[in-house]
Amino acid sequence: MIAEGGLVLLAEGGLENLSTRKLADHFGIKSASLYHHFRNKQELLDHVADVMIRPALARPQPGERWEDWLMTLSLNLRRSVLAYPDGALLYAGASPPQENYDERLALLFDPLLDAGLPHAIARRVILSVLRFTIGWTIDEQVAHNRGADRNADTSEADFAFGVQTFILGTESLVEQIRVDG
């Protein structure tokens, strides 16, 4: 509930608006009361970021190829963070809350491991695609904040091209590993 309140503040004014004082005011409590739930502000921000991206996280559909799942995950993550001013910056500095950590790792790695990708490759693919997604989205949000007029459809198509490049490179790498045995 508190993290959802943080999303409201983020939506209203970005990270600058997401202070513990404003969040406490939002709930009609004292700032110190927030620290009964969170050890520090970073832990609070981690929870807000986790709630923000939760809609983007989904397991593959039955029979869905890992390549299609990864593209969908990337597009949904981009859309989730773009929905909030500074959403990408918030996510860039966040870690999954400890209570969700194992679930988040399994959700991100299992589809790739189930498809037969070696763990080291799956780890690098997820890290690369997540960092590409967030970096791309930070660029979009900063450009928007500076008044740049970008075509949203073109930007999404360009973004998808980048993710597809990662996917094709991974397919090629995995095939080479299979051939080399």
Helix axes 66-82, 152-180, angle to 10 degrees: 150
Q: According to the model, what pLDDT value does residue 152 have?
A: 66
Q: Which of 163, 166, 170 is nearest to 79 (CA)?
A: 163
d(C-alpha 135, C-alpha 130), whole Å = 8
Report the first-to-last Cα separation within the chain, whole angstroms.
50
Do residues 94 and 100 make contact, with C-beta atoms less than 8 angstroms apart? no
d(C-alpha 56, C-alpha 66), whole Å = 16
Query: What is the pTM assigned to this prediction?
Result: 0.90
Select the CATH number that applies to the domain covering 2-180 from these four: 1.10.357.10, 3.40.50.12160, 3.40.50.2300, 1.20.1250.20: 1.10.357.10
d(C-alpha 153, C-alpha 175), whole Å = 33
Interval 31-83: pLDDT, tens? 888 888 888 999 999 999 999 999 999 999 999 999 999 999 999 999 999 99
Between 150 and 177, name the one with better pLDDT: 177
Interval 125-140: pLDDT, tens? 999 999 999 999 999 9
Q: How many CB atoms lie within 10 A of CB 6?
A: 25
**Could you tell me which residues come within 8 angstroms of residue 112 by beta carbon, excluding any fewer than 6 positions away?**
66, 70, 121, 122, 125, 126
